[in-house]
Amino acid sequence: MYITVNETRLYFDVEGAQLVPNGASLREKPTIILLHGGPGVDHSIYKPAFSNLAAHAQVIYLDHRGNGRSDQSEPRHWNLAQWGDDVKAFCDRLGITKPIVFGASFGGFVAQAYATRHADHPAKLILASTASKVDFEVMYQSFTELGGPAAGSAARNYWGAPTAESRVRYRDLCVPYYTAQPLRQPELFSRAIVKDDVALHFNGPANEMGKMDFSSALSAITCPVLIMGGDCDPVMPFAFSERIAASLAPDLVTLKKFEGCAHMIENDDPAGFFSALCGFADLR
């Protein structure tokens, strides 16, 4: 489905009804909005793993502007302030109040932009395998430790100054380390709509990814926050999750480390991942 938000047509999909029969009345289920990673992929990376949440929530998948099936927009609008404002405006257009917002990796950047700019809007925030500020040297070292000098070099060459050529080599040598277990859905990335130009525009220390720093702004958040990270994640090492937690009010934070898990925790430990998510979000 499509909806026009901030003069741009965004694609979204929905699983699960918001209102369900409850005896003589209707019960309203919570709404969870899923913000995908990338940038340059789409919401399909969450299917079918997140479909089971529809038994307990209305699940909304959203393609960020410039990504997936949403309108390409223009490069000047490919920034976190715009993407974060799009989430709020999307909710306003559909009458969604107090959503639970989940963001993984780049989706976690967008979730932080949204929540720091519209602090009274989310009911809860879930940040997985993400960062408030990226330390690229730590990332390069993590890839070197996991994949040896070739992976470390490929990571440095791509993230340091992204090009189409270095992105291909990064996919070949580094993306396999995004999981610690074989992909449960081997076709996961094959069915995604890839927009390399958005990634090349955003990624790297000289671009917005390198300038991003939510460390101070996170103090504005007033809702409960679950932060999840894998101890084997080379691209968003667990130290990045700890930094987010340290920037939030302690009484709002739940920080969970997943042992033996890499970037895609839902692939490496699906039972533990969804147990933590559902418990925090009170989806039952």
- Give per-residue pLDDT as tens, 2-12: 999 999 999 99
pTM of the model: 0.97
Cβ atoms of 114 and 223 closer than 8 Å: no
Domain map of the chain by residue range? 2-281
Q: What length does the chain have? A: 284
Q: Per-residue pLDDT averaged across 204-222, rounded?
A: 97
C-alpha to C-alpha distance for 161 and 159, rounded to whole angstroms: 6
Of 153, 201, 145, residue with least CA distance to 173: 153
Q: Per-residue pLDDT averaged across 258-271, rounded?
A: 98
Q: How crowded is residue 175: how many other Cβ atoms within 10 Å of its Cβ?
A: 13
Q: Per-residue pLDDT averaged across 106-120, rounded?
A: 98
Q: Per-residue pLDDT averaged across 111-130, rounded?
A: 98
C-alpha to C-alpha distance for 15 and 98, rounded to whole angstroms: 18
User: Mean pLDDT of all residues in the chain?
Assistant: 97
Asked if CATH classification 3.40.50.1820 holds for the domain at 2-281, the reply, yes or no, is yes
- Is 198 a residue whose pLDDT tops 90? yes
- Copy the structure tokens of residue 242: 């700890």
HSE-up of residue 11 (Cα within 13 Å, Cβ side): 15
Which residue type is seen at 278? C
The answer to whether the bond into 224 is cis (omega within 30° of 0) is no
The pLDDT value recorded for residue 105 is 98
Contacts of 18 (CB under 8 A, 6+ apart): 28, 29, 31, 58
The pLDDT value recorded for residue 256 is 98
Q: How crowded is residue 275: how many other Cβ atoms within 10 Å of its Cβ?
A: 11
Q: Per-residue pLDDT averaged across 75-79, rounded?
A: 97
- pLDDT-derived band at 284, boundaries 50, 70, 90: confident
C-alpha to C-alpha distance for 77 and 73, rounded to whole angstroms: 7
Share of the chain above pLDDT 70, in %: 100
Find where tokens 């080599």 sit.
Answer: 169
Q: Per-residue pLDDT averaged across 62-70, rounded?
A: 98
Share of the chain above pLDDT 90, in %: 98
Coil, strand, or helix at residue 204? coil
Cβ atoms of 146 and 237 closer than 8 Å: no
- Give per-residue pLDDT as tens, 157-182: 999 999 999 999 999 999 999 999 99
The pLDDT value recorded for residue 218 is 98
- Copy the structure tokens of residue 16: 């699960």
CA dihedral 227, 228, 231, 237 (to 10 degrees): -60
- Is 142 a residue whose pLDDT tops 90? yes
Burial bucket for residue 68 (CB in 10 Å: 0-12, 13-18, 19+): buried
